[in-house]
Chain A
Amino acid sequence: MATLEIKDLHVQVQTEDGPKEILKGVNLTIRDGETHAIMGPNGSGKSTLAYSIAGHPKYEVTSGSVTLDGADVLAMTVDERARAGLFLAMQYPVEVPGVSVSNFLRTAKTAIDGEAPKLRTWVKDVNTAMDRVKMDTAFATRNVNEGFSGGEKKRHEIVQLELLDPKVAVLDETDSGLDIDALKIVSEGVNRFKENGDKGVLLITHYTRILRYITPDFVHVFVDGRMVEEGGPELAEELEANGYDRFVSAAV
């Protein structure tokens, strides 16, 4: 049971010229087992939506609400949101020097579950999760994301998704910069997550190609800080054929 509900969300950032509104009233409800794809041109505010849900301090919510199963997400700190069941797979995962992947994963799992994972099964779980995305288990001893290629960073995000097992996963352009093999591996990871039960997925992407591997229930077109159209998978096909022009010109 998981419902992420976003209502009339307005978000601004501080710029040299003063505050600038990026999200201009976003409405979206993701229910159990639903996969929503948000597609839009560059600069439309897609990533801002992802980071606002996760609570990045750069993004200031000026009005609206975000709730997870009725609980006020906006009142929670970044780590509380994660413990409540939200997960953000980032477009640019951050390097953390000197902290090993295995230490990081164990610390995160302990934080999410409220207790340390059982040593006996944990090592196996980590190895399995890494095997599944074809990451050498030697990565466990490397520093978090340090020296990882773009594709390795994205696979590491999927490893975390599998191990931390959130209620709702927000994937921010997880497909960008991936070659076709890596794209398939990452997509399979997301599909395994979906099969786990009542999970919500919010897939933010610029391109339609990932939607060949992950079938969305809903496709939303996002332009200039708000949803301008909603449809089924067929909407993605239209975007594939015609691009964003129709929506961009309509918004102007």
Chain B
Amino acid sequence: MTAETLSHALEVEDVDSHLHPHRSFDVADHAVPTGREEIWRFTPLKRLRGLHDDAPLDGDGVGAEADAPAGVSIELIAPDSPLRGSSGFVPSDRIAARVWAEATRAWAVTIPAEAAPEEPVVVTLTGKDSESATASHLVVSAGAHSKATLVLRFVGSGTLADNVEYVVGDGAHLTVVSIDDWDDDAVHVGHRHAKVGRDATFRHIDVSFGGDLVRHDTTAEYAGPGGEVEMLGLYFADEGQHIEHRLFVDHNAPRTRSHVSYKGALQGEGAHTVWIGNVLIRKVAEGIETYEENRNLVLTDGCQADSVPNLEIETGEIEGAGHASATGRFDDEQLFYLRSRGIEEHEARRLVVHGFFNDLIRKVGVPSLEEQLTATVEAELAKNVLREGPA
């Protein structure tokens, strides 16, 4: 482990910055968080069911089923498989390090080079009980010049900590749609890391609706010039729900691009969302282009949306870098316009929220998934925004 740690450390050359917390495979290097740390200050630790501390991770309360088109392999891998860590993933916090060390299930999805399956690979993780915590490690490898879509769906009731690695080969095009559609009592802490090959495209669409506490760290780096990362996110926090997204794009290669766009809606007492969008542009990363944005729509009183974009630039030789963050309530003029056409207030609100998300869904670019996502949003809206009552 020491040699591996060293090699990773050399490759990564951690920049001394809070954007880039100290990374290590060794659990002992990550103290139990107190909640005062920059990376933990927004998270209600008490509701993590000990994942951040020492709660056992050997449960099997979250089962996995996969459906893969011909040619795509799905297999269990040994704890010492070289696939693990092949994305350059190094745990940046205690939970990720614990999953690395203790995951009882490690498996791999492999898309061969130049394969272009028409149907998506669908992996469903179903929680059956939330008593015991499950840890899982998945490595997804997209071979050079392959083109594929992977859908990760989380449903049921469970406590899950998982690491997912994406290795996107040169010229490959991988689209991942991750949907947290948990029951109300689920806790999910996920770490996702992608290494994007030369001229490759990695698109990550993260949809989080269900669960009591969902926290995703999604990070990306490049293995060569010309790579492109698009991260889209869509979340809806109801009463008492905590949804946190921490993103980090490490522009460590020239002429790479990244585009991050997350949109969320909040409703009900204690609904809390957190979005941290970090981008680092290293000295070598000349000619890159990056844009990140987060928009939150606050539907009722009693909600809190934290939104923090960070951009750290070590070279001025770039094409463009920008970010935007906006959190607001319903636009009264939009509601007035719709209502002046006879549309009742609750229906007008539903339309505005629908539109807010629809704008993002249209960017997914996979028609069958767009329909599915629209249906998921509609179901969520039917449960909540459609509900009549005081505005």
Which residues in A have some Cβ–Cβ distance to B below 8 Å?
54-57, 77-79, 81-83, 87-88, 90, 93-99, 103-104, 107-108, 111-112, 143, 160, 164
Contact = CB atoms under 8 A, between A and B. Distances in A.
A103 B378 CA distance: 14
Contact of A79 (B334, B342, B356, B357): B342
A106 to B, nearest CB: 11
Interface in B336-387: 336-345, 347-348, 351-352, 354-359, 362
A176 to B, nearest CB: 18
7 contacts: A57-B332, A79-B339, A79-B344, A96-B355, A98-B357, A143-B355, A164-B341
Contact of B354 (A77, A99, A112): A99
Nearest to B352: A96
B334 A96 contact: yes
Contacts of B118: none
Given A57-B332, A107-B347, A96 B337 contact: yes
A88 B340 contact: yes
Contacts of A96: 334, 337-338, 351-352, 355
Contact of B351 (A77, A107, A164): A107
Contact of B347 (A93, A111, A164): A111
A160 B340 CA distance: 11
A210 B81 CA distance: 78
A87 to B, nearest CB: 8
B33 to A, nearest CB: 38
B343 A108 contact: yes
Contacts of B333: 94
Contacts of B336: 56-57, 78, 94
A97 B341 contact: no
Interface in B305-339: 331-334, 336-339
Interface centre among B343, B344, B345, B348 (most CB of A within 10 A): B343
Interface residues of B, number: 25
A222 to B, nearest CB: 22
Contacts of A88: 340
A94 B342 contact: no
A137 B155 CA distance: 41
Contacts of B339: 77-79, 82
Contacts of A93: 337
Nearest to B362: A98
A112 B342 contact: yes
Contacts of A108: 338, 341-343
Interface of B is mostly: helix
Contacts of B352: 96, 99
A94 B356 contact: no
Contacts of A90: 337, 340
A97 B343 contact: no
Nearest to A95: B334
A107 to B, nearest CB: 6
A158 B111 CA distance: 53
Contacts of A94: 331, 333-334, 336-337
Contact of B355 (A56, A78, A99): A99
A112 B340 CA distance: 10
A89 to B, nearest CB: 10
The CB with the most chain A CB atoms within 10 A, among B334, B337, B356, is that of B337
B330 to A, nearest CB: 11
Contacts of A87: 340
A172 B333 CA distance: 16
Contact of A111 (B344, B354, B355): B344
B340 A78 contact: yes
A41 B354 CA distance: 40
A235 to B, nearest CB: 30
Contacts of B342: 79, 82-83, 108, 111-112, 164
Nearest to B337: A94
Nearest to A107: B343
B226 to A, nearest CB: 31
- Give 5 closest A-B pairs by Cβ, nearest first: A98-B355, A82-B342, A98-B358, A108-B341, A99-B355
A160 B355 contact: no
A111 B341 contact: yes
B305 to A, nearest CB: 18
Contacts of A77: 339, 345
A98 B354 contact: yes
A101 B355 CA distance: 11
Nearest to B341: A108
Interface in B276-290: none
Q: Which has the most chain B C-beta neighbours within 10 Å: A55, A77, A88, A94?
A: A94
Contacts of B358: 98-99
Given A111-B341, A111-B343, 10 more contacts: A57-B332, A79-B342, A79-B344, A87-B340, A96-B355, A97-B355, A103-B351, A104-B338, A108-B343, A111-B342
A88 B10 CA distance: 67
Contact of A82 (B332, B334, B341, B359): B341
